[in-house]
Chains A and B, each alone.
Chain A
Amino acid sequence: MSSIEVIENLCVGCGLCVKACLYDAIEMVDGVAVIKDNCTLCGACVEPCKFDAIILRKSHRETVSLDDFKGVWVVAEQRAGEIHGVSFELLGRGRELADTRGAPLAAVLLGSNLGDAGRQLIAHGADVVYVVDDPALEHYRDEPYANAVAALIDKYKPEIVLTGGTSVGRSLIPRVAIQVRTGLTADCTALDIDDQEGLLLQTRPAFGGNIMATIICPNHRPQMATVRHKVMTALEPDPAREGEVIEEKLAAELFETSTEFVEFVKDETSTVNIAEADIIVSGGRGLGGPENFGLLEGLANALGGAVGASRAAVDAGWIPYSHQVGQTGKTVQPNLYFACGISGAVQHRVGMLSSRIIVAINKDPDAPIFKVATYGIVGDVFEVLPTLTKKLAAEFS
């Protein structure tokens, strides 16, 4: 069993480890660090200790022969034959990772009546596309999709498997990781190859984006990660790019499920959804009521953006939950985010902090939203928004 230990004669009682602990699991007793029962063995205290007084021993066993696993895979996502943009973005980053590892880049595409959709994945950088085209895969259902991906991983043994951090991707791929008995890191914002051992360094935010953590999967394969939409950059598609599309026939039992797809209902309250949008115009309590959300729509429409909202506006019933940005809503990272009449409580900020440009409009100059804003206007949203919409619309008409 793994263990953690404080070497008492090296510990000077400086308390750095107490501060470094993510779980409040270290205390000072008579000038020496003592690790309490709620320690999770995360190891966050080991590096901050300047006296090498904390040792984490991990017992590990080789479970698979790591050398058998080669190549980088992207599990592509499609609905009604249309491939999700995140799949192309993953191929963009996947191409670089594959080249660094001197290995091929492959995509996996599951569905029904896919036609030549696989060709698009080649145009975006894949060397090989494994296609499973079966009527049982017409609509996304967790079990058949997970079983199919796991079966292909068992057959071809890729070293790295990337999946889009969409609702579907985040449902599908954890089941696959359990089946193939390997690690999975969610919502990575950076993926790199470590120079020494060739491991995939998976960096992601945790604790609501207040902390970044780099995670590895040293003794299991494949190394699996999800990445959200618009984090990586797709390659310019090249229709002339050469690659191979391989039709895979899998055993029918893999597709058995008692889950029944009934229907898909499109959200009619928005033409552009916030998870995909390049520009988001969000409103909060400062808008005063649902009737004023038209001001946000005016600006969003002028710029081709989507309308978002703070929790306060959603809880007040001014706009549906699917528009909520923040800790209990969606995490977004558009190019441009407008926060209008939003004070910027930390619960909201963690959902939009990764936006490239943040514009805050608020009448309170001390509102916390201004601390994260790239640009801000101290003023009344009811005056600022119409003026801003008019001026921007004039620029882009």
Chain B
Amino acid sequence: MNVVVLIKQVPDTTDVRIDRETNTLIREGVPSIINPFDMYAIEEALRVREGAGEGTVTVMSMGPPQVDVALREAIALGVDRAVLLSDRAFAGSDTWSTSYTLAAGIRKLEDYDLILCGKQAIDGDTGQVGPGVAQFLGVPQVTYARKLTIDDGSSATVERMLEDGYDVVKVPLPSVVTVVKDINEPRLPSLKGKMKAKKAEITVWGSDDLDVDQEELGLDGSPTRVVRVFAPEARPGGTIFEGEVEDTVESLVRELVPILKGDI
């Protein structure tokens, strides 16, 4: 069972802020991390390999050379191989071109049974690249997976999380499966893994290494464009009640009643 995991290096977005006076981004000291949802995808891939008792796990990412750090972190967790798709020509890719490029990278791997990724990245929050890759590869997909069972090597049964429950879906392999946090509990890197990660060789492929149309790459191949970036509207300061429980609750109820009645 050969599993490919698509990962993204993201800024730890919880720390990113806009300076409301200058309307610019404050990102001093914001660390880069592996997208949290991708950590569950890596863990699931390792479990699938362990369950099958054979096969490999390959992590793949598209990005600048700095993504090397994220790929080594994945190797430390037990991943066998890491591939970085990196080229100036990929810069400015939106989800269309990213899906296109990653699909070309996966095709070059030839032998793959399952492609896993997080349900979305925490910087863009689109959740579009997983389905996009599946479409480019012409394979089925299951998004928001909370449980994955490999049936017999040729199909998988997956629980897809929905707003009010879940679907049970059976897909042939290869397929793309995007995972939510509920699917597993990621392991920590081992000391041996960390040693291996230090020495590991990361495969780097540029646009010339892939079977791609140069015009479909990066900003040129991307249908969308960002025209404006700005700070969200600030929330006005609130009313905080302190004191005896009876009084504070009474004050709150007086505020909430007209809201609940739909008057405000």
A residues apposed to B, CB below 8 Å? 1-2, 16, 19-24, 37-44, 47-48, 58-61, 139-143, 146, 166-168, 170-172, 174-175, 177-179, 181-187, 201, 205-220, 257-267, 273, 275-276, 303, 320-322, 324, 327-329, 335-336, 345-347, 350, 353, 357-360, 365, 370, 372-380, 383-384, 387-388, 391-392, 395-396
Contacts and interface: CB of A to CB of B under 8 A. Distances in A.
B166 A258 contact: no
B218 A167 contact: no
The 8 closest A-B pairs by CB, nearest first: A183-B223, A41-B92, A38-B64, A183-B224, A19-B24, A174-B131, A262-B168, A321-B182
Nearest to A2: B219
Given A19-B19, A262-B157, A329-B181, A175 B11 contact: no
**Residue of B13, B18, B26, B129 contacting most chain A CB atoms (<10 Å):** B13
Interface residues of B, number: 101
B210 interface: no
A210 B248 contact: no
A324 B181 CA distance: 10
Given A215-B225, A388-B249, A179 B170 contact: no
20 contacts: A22-B25, A141-B169, A166-B162, A167-B143, A171-B141, A171-B160, A175-B132, A178-B136, A179-B135, A210-B16, A211-B16, A211-B231, A213-B230, A216-B225, A257-B140, A258-B171, A321-B146, A360-B238, A377-B240, A391-B250
B5 to A, nearest CB: 18
B256 interface: yes
Given A262-B169, A373-B240, A185 B229 contact: no
A265 B168 contact: yes
B123 to A, nearest CB: 6
B226 A42 contact: yes
Interface string B160-199: 1111111111111000000011100000000000000000
B94 interface: yes
Chain A binding surface SS class = mixed
B241 A377 contact: yes
B155 to A, nearest CB: 8
Given A19-B24, A184-B95, A391-B253, A365 B242 contact: yes
Contacts of B18: 210-211
B55 interface: no
B244 to A, nearest CB: 9
Interface string B99-131: 100000000000000000000001111111111
B260 to A, nearest CB: 7
Contacts of B248: 377-379, 384
A219 B221 CA distance: 11
A383 B248 CA distance: 11
Contacts of B166: 264-265, 267
A347 B33 CA distance: 15
A171 B143 contact: yes
A22 B249 contact: no
A201 B227 CA distance: 9
Interface in B11-34: 11, 13-19, 22-27, 30
B257 interface: yes
Given A142-B131, A375-B241, 6 more contacts: A21-B25, A37-B64, A219-B223, A259-B140, A350-B14, A388-B252
A132 to B, nearest CB: 19
Interface in B196-220: 214-215, 218-220
